[in-house]
Amino acid sequence: MWLSKCSVIFGLFGSLHSDRKIHPGFDQSSWKQQITASTDLQSAMTDPQLVTQNGGPNHDADMESKTNLIVNYLPQTMTQEEIRSLFSSIGEVESCKLIRDKTTGQSLGYGFVNYKLQDDADRAIAQLNGLRLQNKTIKVSLARPSSESIKGANLYISGLSKTMTQLDLETMFSPAGNIITSRILCDPTTGLSKGVGFIRFDQRYEAEKAINTLNGTIPEGSTEPITVKFANQPSNSKNVLPVTMASYLSPARQRGFLGPIHHASTGRFRFSPLDAGLVPNPLISATSPTISAAGPGPGWCIFVYNLAPETEENVLWQLFGPFGAVQSVKVIRDFQTQKCKGFGFITMSNYEESLMAIQSLNGYTLGNRVLQVSFKTSNRKSP
DNA sequence: CGACGGGACGC
DNA sequence: CGACGGGACGC
């Protein structure tokens, strides 16, 4: 049993980075130790009586068999097939899904594994929860039935006494509802509490209740009131790329669209791709940095719509190249299918040339499709 | 009909 | 003072 699982794990991850060296001659007990050690660590830091354990709340009397697992804290590089392979060492896997960012394809660090048999699901929790992979300790627990009511149930708590433990925190919040996870942030070097933490409840209304009852209150034995609010939505923008990536970008690229774009397109300056033939007034757009996200800057960004699913970059180069200096082209594709999503972007160096390209190519028939070509509109992100 | 990415913290 | 995890519900 252990031997077979170990060989699977070693085969999968032996070549990946690990904070712990794995020697080819390791014996099965070392793996067992590793896994047990992390479990012990968890229980040493926290009281198993109170601190949330793997399954989350008991949805007692559920008729459906509990075969579906959620796996959290997966290493960034781990693929769906590697997850499937790992969990297949326990029993037959009905389905397996790694959740990825829709547009970038980056792993979001969690996934679902559904077993054929509940027995296997139980054993997967028992044997794989707490398993250390690379620099992560994965968490394996029963997935809750998916529902709207469990979303947005994560709280951010600040103003905690530095002496407060995870257990103290859970004790304080457990009256409000079922706690799924809790955490107190610590300084990585000193290991001391930073006085902030997180609590994820099972249900959003439980989180709301906690805000209503605990925000602004002073915990027993403390002197300062705590702040309890909904946590930020996890943003995928940070820590994904190595910092060194920036140095590979050209200076012009680095200047890109940084900096505030406060009064981006209001009313009369907004360019709609549907307004065929409408182009920016050169006098305005060439001199005002706030008119359009198309430019100015390192170039003029052009939006082209109605591309065929099979469209490749070289087509855009050929299409726009004759009009002048093309800096870059990009076909936007669906991550899963790798098919073009119907649009793309072209950045050209010179305003006059990009204008000519737009005027000439808007309405142009490519294949059996009539293209719509315009300056890219401003970013309509509204955080 | 619609449809607008990815890039990133210095001055 | 603020501080936002080891991106937890199907991207």
Q: Is A201 within 7 A of strand B by CB distance?
A: no
**A365 CA, C9 C1': Å apart:** 44
Q: Which two tokens stand for residue A250?
A: 């050209």
Cα A364 to Cα A344: distance, rounded to the nearest angstrom: 15
**A119 CA, B2 C1': Å apart:** 48
Residue A162: Cβ-neighbour burial (10 angstroms; 0-12, 13-18, 19+): exposed
Considering only residues 14-43 of protein chain A, which place a Cβ less than 7 A from any atom of strand C? none
pTM to 2 decimal places: 0.65
- In this predicted structure, what is the pLDDT of residue A295? 67
Query: What CATH number is given for A6-37+54-142 in this structure?
Result: 3.30.70.330
Q: Closest Cα partner for A112 from A131, A127, A93?
A: A93
Q: Closest Cα partner for A316 from A353, A350, A343, A356?
A: A343
Helices (H), chain A: 2-13, 28-45, 80-88, 118-128, 166-173, 204-214, 245-248, 251-255, 282-285, 313-320, 351-361
CATH topology of domain A149-231: Alpha-Beta Plaits (3.30.70)
What does the angle CA A214 – CA A217 – CA A220 come to, to the nearest 5 degrees? 105
Q: What is the mean pLDDT of residues A61-68?
A: 73
Residues of chain A above pLDDT 70, percent: 66
Number of neighbouring beta carbons within 10 Å of residue A306 = 16
In the three-class reduction of DSSP (H, G, I as helix; E, B as strand; rest coil), residue A2 is classed as helix
Q: Is A61 within 7 A of strand B by CB distance?
A: no
Cα A244 to Cα A267: distance, rounded to the nearest angstrom: 40
Q: Which residue is nearest to nucleotide B3 (CA to C1')?
A: A305
Q: Are A1 and A126 in contact (CB under 8 A)?
A: no
Q: Is A107 within 7 A of strand C by CB distance?
A: yes
**A335 CA, C8 C1': Å apart:** 23
CATH topology of domain A236-375: Alpha-Beta Plaits (3.30.70)
Q: Which amino acid is at A89?
A: S
Average pLDDT over all residues of chain A? 74
> What is the nearest nucleotide to A186, using C1' and CA?
C5
Cα A98 to Cα A107: distance, rounded to the nearest angstrom: 7
Q: Structural domain boundaries of chain A?
A: 6-37+54-142, 149-231, 236-375
- pLDDT per residue over A277-294, tens digit each? 333 333 333 433 334 567
- pLDDT per residue over A96-130, tens digit each? 999 988 777 888 899 999 999 999 999 999 999 99
Residues 6+ apart with CB under 8 A from A67: A94, A114, A115, A116, A117, A118, A120, A121
Helices (H), A50-201: 80-88, 118-128, 166-173
The DSSP bridge partners found for residue A227 are: A158
Q: What is the mean pLDDT of residues A11-20?
A: 38
